[in-house]
Structure 1
Amino acid sequence: MNNKLKNEIGTIRSFNRFYTNVLGLLDQHILESTFSLSEVRVLHEIEKIEKCTSKKLSEILCMDAGYLSRILKKFEKYGMIEKRRTPEDARAYFLYVTQIGKEKMNELNACSDEQIFNLIHPLTEEEQSRLVRNMTSIENILTEGKRIKFEDITIRHDVRAGDAGYITYLHGLIYKQEYNYSIAFEGYVAQSFCEFLLNYNPNCDRLWLAEYYGEVIGCIGVVGHGDRAQLRWFLLHPNYRGIGLGKRLLNCALSYCREKGFKFVFLDTTNDLETAIAMYTKAGFIKVAEKKNNSWREDLTELEFEMQL
C-alpha cells in the first residue's frame, strides 16, 4: 500500500468518525427514541420494500438472520409490523408496517428532519448546496451511479457566472482521460466560449446545462450563423451516460433550431467519438466533409456533419 492510498484511507476513516459523532450514530438509542439505528433502518426498509421478506431484508441490510429475527419479534410485540403468508409459499411471510409502525416512523422522520435542519441551518445557501452535491457525489461514486434517477436531473438554459469555465474544465479533463487529447484542446474550447460569451445573442444562441443536485453533468449549445445553426459543446460526464440524457439534450438543441427557423444545423466532431457520431447519424445528420487535424492528438480526423431542417 503506497503513501497516497494510506493518506486517502486515513482521510475517509477520519470523516467516518466525524460524521457518526455529528449525527449521534454511536448512541444506543437514536433520535432520543427507544430504538437503535439498526432497528430504525429495518423498519424503514420494511415500509419501502415491496413484498418484503425477512430473507430479502437480511440480504439488503447485510444483517445476521438471528439478529434480524430478534428485531422483527420486538416490532411484532409492539404492534408495529404484521406478517402475512405469501401465496407462493405457506412457510414464507411478507412483512408490512402497521398503522402504529407508520406513526412511529413519521415521528422518527420528523425528528431526523429537525436534526438535519439544525445541522445545516447555520450554513449559507451556497454551503448547503455544496454539501448536498458532495454527499451525492460520494453516493454515486460508491454505487457506480446505480442510484441515479433521471427525474432528479434538471436542464436549464440560463447562462450563469462560472458555467463556461466549468464546462471548459470538463472538456479538458474528460477528453484527456478518454481520448488522450492535449491541453491545446482545452484552449480551443476556452476560445470558443470566449467568442460565444462576447457575442452572445439570446435570439439565436443558447446553452443547455444538465444538473444533478446542482452539479453540472452535461451540456450542449447552439450558435447561430445566419440561416445555419452550429451545434457545439455536446458533453456528458461519464457517470451519467446510458440513461437517455444525451438524447434529451440533443433533442432540446434540435427543437430550438427548428423553433428559431434555421434551415440547416451543422457540427464538427472527430472520428474517435463513435458513440456521438452514431447518435448524430440516427438523428438525421449526414457527413459532408473531413480533414486531418493533429492539433490535439496524432492521427485524428475532423468530421463535419450537417442536417437540413
Structure 2
Amino acid sequence: MPDLNNIADTVSEFHTFYEAVAATLNAHRSTHSLSGAEIRILSEISVNQHPNAGQLATATNTDPGYLTRIIRSLEKQGLASRAPSRTDARSFALHLTEQGKNTLIDLQMASRDNVLQLLQPLNVRQQEQLAAAMLAIRQLLKGDGNGTPEVTYRHQLQPGDVGYLIHLHGGLYAREAGYNGEFEAHVCKTFAEFLPGYSPAKDRIVLAVANGEIVGSIAIVGATRQLAQLRWFIVHPDYRGFGIGKRLLADALAFCKDKQYQTVYLMTTSIQEHAGALFKQSGFRKTGEKLMQLWGQQLYEQRYDMDLV
C-alpha cells in the first residue's frame, strides 16, 4: 500500500511550491486596492448571476459575518449593489455595478497576461500536460462525492495516439493477463496493417479522453462491404465502472449500422472474461474457439459475431 505520510509530504511540498507560483500570478493585484477575498467575491457575483448572501457564502465557503463585511466594502467602493430579490422578498440579490464589471474585466485581463507569461517557456505538449494535471487536481479535491471523471470522446487520430495505444495495450495485458512482449509486437503489427488503408468511410476509431490522456479505445475496421471487425477495445483500470466501455461499444456498433455492415466480429481470448461478458450482453455470440499457445500463455482464442441485419 502507498505510504500515506509520503503522500502527505508530497502534497505539502506542492502547496509550498504553488504558493510562490500563485504570488507571481497574483502580482497584477498590487495595482488595485482590492483584497484577494474581495476579488473572489466580485468574480462569484459575476458568475452566479445575482446571488444572495447565503448563496455566496456557500459557493465561496466564506464565514457569513466576514462575507457581510466584504459586501459592504464592495458597495462602499461602488463595485457592487444590492436590490430586493425577485424570488425571495426576505433577501437581497447582489449585482455588479458598471464600475465593478469594468474592474473585474481589468483584473481578468491582467491575470490572463500573467498566465500566458507562465506558459510561454513550455512547449505545446507541456502546456497540455500542465492543464490536464491542474484539472485532475481540481476534480479530485472538489469534493462532490461522486468521483465520476469528466470524459470526452473523439474520432480523430492525432500524432502519438497509436504509440500510446500500443503502450496501453502492452502494459495492461502484461499486468492483467500475463502476456509477454510478443503481444505488444502483435498490437504494433495490427496498427501497421491498419493505418495505410484507414478511411473514415469504412473505419471508425473512438477514443475516450480524460485529463488530456487516452483512457479507452475501440475501433471498427471494414473487412469487406458486408463484414467489419471490432478491434483495440480497452479501458484503463482507473476508469472502469463509469460506463466508458459501454459507451465505446455503443458508438462502434452504431457506426456499423450506419455503414450498413451486415456482420461485425471480434477476436479475443478466454482470459478476457469481463470483456466476453460485455460482448454477450451487447448481442454478440461466440462462434468459435481454439486452444493455442499465445503470448506466453496457453489459452483459447475466441471469435464472437453479431448479425446486424
Counterpart in 1 of 2:70? 71
2:12 is paired with a residue whose SS is helix
Distance (whole Å) between structure 1 residues aligned to residue 32 and residue 170 of structure 2: 51
Distance (whole Å) between structure 1 residues aligned to residue 112 and residue 203 of structure 2: 43
Q: Which runs of 5+ in 1 are unaligned?
A: none
1:188-246 CA distance string (max 9 Å, x none)? 4x345223222122145443323346322322112333342111223345676788765
Contact 1:25 1:37 in 2 (8 A): no
Distance (whole Å) between structure 1 residues aligned to residue 213 and residue 69 of structure 2: 42
Distance (whole Å) between structure 2 residues aligned to residue 148 and residue 102 of structure 1: 34
Equivalent residue letter for 1:83: R
Equivalent residue letter for 2:61: C
**2:201 aligned with 1:202:** no
Distance (whole Å) between structure 2 residues aligned to residue 245 and residue 61 of structure 1: 33
Contact 1:222 1:231 in 2 (8 A): yes
**2:171 aligned with 1:183:** no
1:99-125 CA distance string (max 9 Å, x none)? 221111101100100010111112222
1:212-291, aligned counterparts within 5 Å?
A: 212=210, 214-226=212-224, 227-237=226-236, 249-250=248-249, 252-258=251-257, 262-268=261-267, 270-273=272-275, 276-277=278-279, 281=282, 285-289=283-287
2:21 is paired with a residue whose SS is helix
Distance verdict in 2 for CA 1:127–1:111, change over 3 Å: same
Distance (whole Å) between structure 2 residues aligned to residue 100 and residue 242 of structure 1: 49
Distance (whole Å) between structure 1 residues aligned to residue 68 and residue 181 of structure 2: 58
Distance (whole Å) between structure 1 residues aligned to residue 148 and residue 53 of structure 2: 23
Counterpart in 2 of 1:119? 118
Contact 2:169 2:187 in 1 (8 A): no
1:159-191 CA distance string (max 9 Å, x none)? 533x23433444567779xxx833328964x34
- Cα deviation, residue 249, structure 1: 3.8
1:184 is paired with a residue whose SS is coil
Distance (whole Å) between structure 2 residues aligned to residue 25 and residue 53 of structure 1: 32
Counterpart in 1 of 2:5? 6
Counterpart in 2 of 1:166? 164
1:10 is paired with a residue whose SS is helix
- Cα deviation, residue 31, structure 1: 5.1
**2:54 aligned with 1:60:** no
Distance (whole Å) between structure 1 residues aligned to residue 66 and residue 259 of structure 2: 64
Distance (whole Å) between structure 1 residues aligned to residue 9 and residue 76 of structure 2: 43
User: So what's the TM-score if we normalise by structure 2?
Assistant: 0.76
Distance (whole Å) between structure 1 residues aligned to residue 170 and residue 109 of structure 2: 44
- Cα deviation, residue 52, structure 1: 1.4
Distance verdict in 2 for CA 1:241–1:272, change over 3 Å: closer
1:9-31 CA distance string (max 9 Å, x none)? 22221221221212217979835
Counterpart in 1 of 2:306? 306
Distance (whole Å) between structure 2 residues aligned to residue 50 and residue 297 of structure 1: 61
Distance verdict in 2 for CA 1:289–1:166, change over 3 Å: same
Equivalent residue letter for 1:183: G
1:41 is paired with a residue whose SS is helix
Distance verdict in 2 for CA 1:26–1:247, change over 3 Å: closer
Counterpart in 2 of 1:38? 37
Say how many residue pairs are matched. Answer: 297
Greater Cα shift, 261-270 or 9-18: 261-270
Greater Cα shift, 251-260 or 287-296: 287-296
Distance (whole Å) between structure 2 residues aligned to residue 195 and residue 275 of structure 1: 27
Greater Cα shift, 121-130 or 87-96: 87-96
Distance (whole Å) between structure 2 residues aligned to residue 6 and residue 142 of structure 1: 18
Contact 1:29 1:37 in 2 (8 A): no
Distance verdict in 2 for CA 1:26–1:232, change over 3 Å: closer
Contact 1:31 1:112 in 2 (8 A): no
1:19-34, aligned counterparts within 5 Å?
A: 19-24=18-23, 30=29, 32-34=31-33
Equivalent residue letter for 2:190: F
Distance verdict in 2 for CA 1:250–1:93, change over 3 Å: same
User: So what's the TM-score if we normalise by structure 1?
Assistant: 0.76
- Cα deviation, residue 304, structure 1: 2.2
Contact 1:29 1:35 in 2 (8 A): no
Equivalent residue letter for 1:272: H
Distance (whole Å) between structure 2 residues aligned to residue 102 and residue 46 of structure 1: 10
Distance verdict in 2 for CA 1:136–1:232, change over 3 Å: same
Contact 1:28 1:36 in 2 (8 A): no
Percent identity over the alignment is 29
Distance (whole Å) between structure 2 residues aligned to residue 26 and residue 112 of structure 1: 7
1:45 is paired with a residue whose SS is helix
Q: Which runs of 5+ in 2 are unaligned?
A: none
- Aligned-residue Cα RMSD (Å) equals 3.9
